[in-house]
């Protein structure tokens, strides 16, 4: 192990950041052993990682894929939790963030094996896609300062999940805010130490990315969680192409580390279907920024990509011009569906809904939130679908379809009362659905999915349910 990778205890923050910057400038960072890189990153971003230790647990949990002991087997070293290496215990957001940072190292060093080694073989990122991914990073990261600033963006990204920071920002605004807004406001208030290490131009780029993230969550676009009206904030990025590109690279790294709390031994989530979906989202966002696409048309490119992927598996074509079929495409995208069998279950559940419920769902999923009235953003609905699908795994197809039907009825209740109203001012209301997680992952739901029908919603106007 190289001693140059470690930061001496008591090292001043500026010196710690300088060690990382020098490692990047001299080309040593990309060649470091993963464990050495973790310690180097900890030295540079200690205060930020401490905040992430306090962050709320990840929304989609599972059994850790890391080795339970500190094995000396060289082949097993990469399976140790980064958080456990540093703190002796697992902290979800520390593991997710450091896995994302390691993913940058794997990409820049063209280490396809490390990047994809724990991915499911059937959906593993293809070699040619990895090469395209690396080329994209190379095209954007033109200087060592770009690489360093991207690491800053990654470690800052989820700081809003620290309850202490969220409470401090809430006290200033008199209400609770979502974590993307929290971190943007914290950065504006100079509460994030690593931001002070950036030169003014680079800091401006990161601030633009944080502002964009507070108004537009591109990951929500990629899984059709948000609505076309959310893309309006993208217009502020016009003329700031480099800032946008840095933000999108950060998003790809965030996805790469998304299940780092479950298994951080590779970029487990950035599989071939996910990569293709996010590239479609990027192209849509670029076209909107360039004025070559409307918000609705850009949004629908993501749905059309899901349609194309599913048609390749033998599933029937769906039309975005037909409200019911477009709504089904949104559901399939939220469900991260990539195979014909699951798509058929979704379609069966959708068309088995009572007509009034299906209409309610279609109406609610058809509002853009831009010059057509009030749209609901069902925050965490893709995660809730993932929980439900996982809970019903291994059961008969009819039972799985019943589970999906229950989730669709739940979503219909979430969007109830909304429908496209052309000419009306656009409004977007965010409804946090994490309150349903315990029910959806319960044994009671597995036995009888209709228990979700009886779940009471938070009071209208509460912090999590506008």
From 56-60, 309-313, 405-409, 438-442, the region with the lowest mean pLDDT: 56-60
Distances (CA, A) of 37 to 31, 245, 374: 9, 24, 47
Beta bridge partners of 432: 379
Provide the whole-model pTM.
0.85
- Average pLDDT rounded to a whole number, residues 320-327: 98
Higher pLDDT, 462 or 385: 385
**Would residue 226 be called left, alpha or beta, if left means φ above 0 and alpha means ψ between -120 and 50 degrees?**
beta
Which residue is it, tokens 């929290």? Answer: 182
Residue 52 has pLDDT above 60, yes or no: yes
Which residue is it, tokens 């949990």? Answer: 61
Can you give the pLDDT at residue 64? 39
**Alpha-carbon span 277 to 332, nearest angstrom:** 12
Residue 76 has pLDDT above 50, yes or no: no
pLDDT digits (tens, 9 = 90+) for 338-360: 999 999 999 999 999 999 999 99
The phi, psi pair for 348, rounded to 5°, reads -60, -45
CA torsion through residues 225, 227, 230, 232, sign: positive
Q: How many CB atoms lie within 10 A of CB 27?
A: 11
Under DSSP, is residue 431 helix (H, G, I), strand (E, B) or coil? strand
Share of the chain above pLDDT 90, in %: 82
The conformation of residue 113, written as its DSSP 8-state character, comes to H
**Alpha-carbon span 207 to 196, nearest angstrom:** 12
234 burial via Cβ count (<10 Å: 0-12, 13-18, 19+):
buried
CA dihedral 56, 59, 61, 67 (to 10 degrees): -50
Residue 465 has pLDDT above 80, yes or no: no
**Alpha-carbon span 2 to 54, nearest angstrom:** 30
Nearest to 102, CA basis, from 32, 157, 55: 32
Nearest to 311, CA basis, from 327, 332, 331: 332
**Alpha-carbon span 392 to 446, nearest angstrom:** 6
């Amino acid at each position: 192990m190289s001693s140059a990778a470690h930061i001496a205890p008591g090292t001043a923050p500026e010196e710690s950041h300088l060690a990382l910057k020098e490692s990047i400038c001299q080309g040593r960072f990309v060649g470091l052993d993963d464990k050495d890189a973790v310690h180097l990153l900890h030295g540079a971003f200690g205060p930020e990682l401490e905040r992430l230790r306090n962050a709320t647990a990840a929304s989609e949990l599972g059994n850790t894929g890391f080795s339970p002991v500190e094995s000396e087997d060289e082949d097993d070293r990469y399976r140790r939790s980064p958080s456990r290496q540093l703190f002796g215990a697992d902290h979800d957001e520390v593991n997710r963030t450091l896995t994302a940072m390691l993913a940058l190292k794997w990409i820049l060093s063209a280490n396809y094996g490390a990047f994809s080694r724990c991915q499911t073989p059937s959906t593993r990122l293809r070699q040619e896609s990895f090469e395209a991914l690396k080329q994209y990073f190379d095209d954007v990261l033109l200087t060592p300062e770009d690489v360093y600033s991207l690491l800053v963006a990654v470690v800052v990204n989820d700081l809003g999940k620290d309850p202490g920071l969220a409470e401090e920002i809430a006290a200033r605004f008199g209400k609770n805010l979502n974590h993307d807004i929290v971190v943007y406001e914290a950065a504006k208030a100079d509460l994030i130490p690593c931001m002070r290490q950036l030169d003014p131009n680079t800091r401006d780029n990161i601030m633009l990315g944080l502002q964009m993230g507070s108004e537009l969550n591109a990951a929500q676009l990629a899984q059709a969680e948000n609505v076309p009206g959310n893309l309006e904030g993208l217009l502020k990025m016009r003329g700031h192409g480099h800032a946008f590109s840095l933000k999108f690279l950060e998003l790809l790294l965030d996805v790469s580390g998304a299940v780092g709390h479950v298994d951080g031994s590779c970029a487990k989530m950035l599989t071939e279907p996910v990569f293709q979906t996010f590239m479609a989202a990027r192209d849509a966002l670029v076209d909107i920024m360039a004025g070559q696409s409307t918000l609705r048309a850009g949004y629908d490119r993501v749905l059309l990509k899901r349609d194309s992927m599913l048609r390749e598996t033998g599933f029937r074509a769906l039309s975005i011009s037909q409200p019911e079929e477009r709504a089904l495409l949104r559901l399939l995208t939220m469900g991260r569906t990539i195979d014909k069998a699951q798509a058929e279950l979704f379609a069966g559940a959708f068309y088995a809904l009572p007509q009034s419920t299906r209409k309610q769902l279609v109406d609610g999923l058809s509002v853009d939130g831009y010059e057509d009235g009030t749209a609901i953003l069902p925050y965490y609905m893709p995660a809730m679908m993932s929980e439900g699908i996982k809970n019903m795994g291994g059961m008969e197809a009819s039972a799985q379809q019943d589970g999906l039907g229950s989730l669709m009825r739940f979503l219909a209740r979430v969007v109830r009362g909304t429908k496209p109203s052309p000419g009306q001012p656009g409004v977007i209301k965010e409804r946090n659905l994490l309150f349903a997680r315990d029910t959806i992952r319960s044994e009671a739901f597995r036995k009888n999915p209709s228990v979700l029908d009886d779940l009471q919603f938070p009071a209208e106007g509460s912090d999590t349910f506008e």
